[in-house]
Amino acid sequence: MRRKFSITLYLFGPPTWELGIEDGRRVTYKTCDEIEHLAHDLCERLLKVALYSRKLLKLGWRGKYYGYFITFVKETSWRRAIEELRYAGLNDIIIREGD
Protein backbone atom coordinates (compact mmCIF):
# COMPACT_ATOMS: atom_id res chain seq x y z
CA MET A 1 0.00 0.00 0.00
CA ARG A 2 1.40 3.38 -1.04
CA ARG A 3 1.59 6.08 1.60
CA LYS A 4 3.42 9.39 1.89
CA PHE A 5 6.64 9.34 3.89
CA SER A 6 8.94 12.17 4.88
CA ILE A 7 12.56 12.57 5.89
CA THR A 8 13.96 15.74 7.45
CA LEU A 9 17.64 16.63 7.21
CA TYR A 10 18.74 19.38 9.59
CA LEU A 11 21.26 21.89 8.26
CA PHE A 12 21.96 24.02 11.33
CA GLY A 13 20.26 26.13 13.96
CA PRO A 14 20.59 29.75 15.02
CA PRO A 15 24.12 30.58 16.24
CA THR A 16 23.10 30.92 19.89
CA TRP A 17 21.62 27.39 19.79
CA GLU A 18 24.56 25.91 17.92
CA LEU A 19 27.15 27.49 20.20
CA GLY A 20 25.17 27.38 23.41
CA ILE A 21 26.21 30.98 24.02
CA GLU A 22 23.86 33.70 25.20
CA ASP A 23 23.65 37.02 23.36
CA GLY A 24 25.82 39.67 25.00
CA ARG A 25 28.34 37.21 26.47
CA ARG A 26 31.92 38.42 26.56
CA VAL A 27 34.13 36.89 23.86
CA THR A 28 37.15 35.01 25.19
CA TYR A 29 39.71 32.62 23.72
CA LYS A 30 37.38 29.81 24.79
CA THR A 31 34.64 31.42 22.69
CA CYS A 32 36.98 31.42 19.70
CA ASP A 33 37.69 27.73 20.26
CA GLU A 34 33.95 27.00 20.44
CA ILE A 35 33.37 28.86 17.16
CA GLU A 36 36.19 26.97 15.48
CA HIS A 37 34.84 23.63 16.72
CA LEU A 38 31.38 24.52 15.42
CA ALA A 39 32.86 25.49 12.03
CA HIS A 40 34.35 22.00 11.64
CA ASP A 41 31.13 20.36 12.84
CA LEU A 42 29.01 22.42 10.44
CA CYS A 43 31.28 21.58 7.52
CA GLU A 44 30.97 17.84 8.20
CA ARG A 45 27.22 18.09 8.80
CA LEU A 46 26.53 20.09 5.62
CA LEU A 47 28.68 17.78 3.50
CA LYS A 48 26.66 14.83 4.86
CA VAL A 49 23.36 16.63 4.12
CA ALA A 50 24.52 17.32 0.55
CA LEU A 51 25.50 13.66 0.06
CA TYR A 52 22.23 12.37 1.53
CA SER A 53 20.21 14.89 -0.49
CA ARG A 54 21.82 13.71 -3.74
CA LYS A 55 21.07 10.08 -2.87
CA LEU A 56 17.44 10.85 -1.97
CA LEU A 57 16.90 12.84 -5.17
CA LYS A 58 18.35 9.96 -7.17
CA LEU A 59 15.85 7.62 -5.46
CA GLY A 60 12.97 9.88 -6.51
CA TRP A 61 12.34 11.74 -3.26
CA ARG A 62 11.21 15.37 -3.64
CA GLY A 63 12.89 17.90 -1.39
CA LYS A 64 11.97 21.37 -0.15
CA TYR A 65 14.17 23.80 1.73
CA TYR A 66 12.73 25.35 4.91
CA GLY A 67 15.45 27.62 6.34
CA TYR A 68 17.19 25.42 8.88
CA PHE A 69 16.29 22.07 7.34
CA ILE A 70 15.31 20.21 4.16
CA THR A 71 12.33 17.86 4.04
CA PHE A 72 12.05 15.10 1.46
CA VAL A 73 8.76 13.34 0.67
CA LYS A 74 7.82 10.32 -1.39
CA GLU A 75 4.74 8.18 -1.95
CA THR A 76 5.72 4.54 -1.67
CA SER A 77 5.24 1.49 0.53
CA TRP A 78 6.95 1.26 3.92
CA ARG A 79 8.92 -1.80 2.81
CA ARG A 80 10.07 -0.14 -0.42
CA ALA A 81 11.15 3.05 1.41
CA ILE A 82 13.24 1.07 3.91
CA GLU A 83 14.79 -1.08 1.16
CA GLU A 84 15.72 2.02 -0.87
CA LEU A 85 17.33 3.76 2.09
CA ARG A 86 19.32 0.67 3.08
CA TYR A 87 20.45 0.13 -0.51
CA ALA A 88 21.67 3.74 -0.66
CA GLY A 89 23.51 3.35 2.67
CA LEU A 90 21.20 5.79 4.45
CA ASN A 91 20.76 3.62 7.54
CA ASP A 92 20.82 6.46 10.08
CA ILE A 93 17.88 8.41 8.61
CA ILE A 94 14.59 8.69 10.47
CA ILE A 95 11.58 8.22 8.21
CA ARG A 96 8.07 9.35 9.19
CA GLU A 97 4.71 8.66 7.70
CA GLY A 98 2.82 11.73 6.54
CA ASP A 99 3.89 15.20 5.37
- Percent helix, strand, coil in the chain, to 5, is 45, 25, 30
Which of 46, 53, 54, 55 shows the shortest CA–CA distance to 86? Answer: 55
The predicted structure's pLDDT at residue 2: 86
The predicted structure's pLDDT at residue 15: 84
The predicted structure's pLDDT at residue 62: 97
Q: In this model, does residue 98 exceed pLDDT 80?
A: no
Higher pLDDT, 43 or 91: 43
Mean pLDDT of the chain: 93
The pTM assigned to this predicted structure is 0.85
Average pLDDT over residues 61-82: 95
Q: In this model, does residue 99 exceed pLDDT 70?
A: no
The predicted structure's pLDDT at residue 22: 83
